[in-house]
Structure 1
């Protein structure tokens, strides 16, 4: 399956791009680097996983993507708390990460190694 056709890849790619645009002028380079990296990791691991040969490998990369999604959600909470992220923007991103994680979970269940 082409990863570009997966809704979860499209949604996570869009979120990653949104993060880069939002933090373009952020001067806290440590925070900016961390949150954009975790956001970028989600669609990147989906893409890498879905091009692997075995279901076990695919599952592993989707699991990494799901972990990165949780990491991103944590950073969004902290970003809201320290006022780097506007509350409404953050709430939207939190909802997106929950949806992406649920979509990854569904895809992983289809690939669950025996």
Structure 2
């Protein structure tokens, strides 16, 4: 497996980018586009997911990356919750809701897996330091 050198190479970031694009598309249509509060909030949550992955990747320490991934995963939950609001008030059809919910859950799973991997690396690095 090749070493990831840029946050753009992370599958988590790529999937989050795609999700963000889809969120922007649906929030610019119909009644959703007229609800500036909810539209902007759900857009911010989507942007937060990908932004925190990128920002954490660029940090110096694995612990910081882990923390930013936690924030990113939390933003996935925020976005999913807002999707339910959009469904309940009729801004999203059930099929579109299901598609976006699936994407958001997929991103959350990938970010969660990356977070676990980073935590393992962090623990291994700490163990190496203790034995030196």
TM over 0.5, shorter chain: yes
Match of residue 21 from structure 1: 25
Partner residue of 2:54 out of 47, 50, 75: 47
**Of 59, 67, 70, which residue of structure 1 is paired with 2:74?**
67
Gaps of 5+ in 1: none
- Structure 2 gaps of 5+ residues are 124-132
Q: Which secondary structure state, in structure 1, belongs to the residue aligned with residue 51 of structure 2? A: helix
The TM-score normalised by the length of structure 1 is 0.95
Shift of 1:17: 1.2
In the alignment, which of 91, 106, 123 is matched to residue 99 of structure 1?
106
Corresponding position of 1:79: 86
Aligned equivalent of 1:110: 117
C-alpha distance in 2 between matches for 1:83 and 1:15: 20
TM-score by length of 2: 0.82
Secondary structure of the residue aligned to 1:69 is helix
RMSD: 1.0
Larger radius of gyration, structure 1 or 2?
2
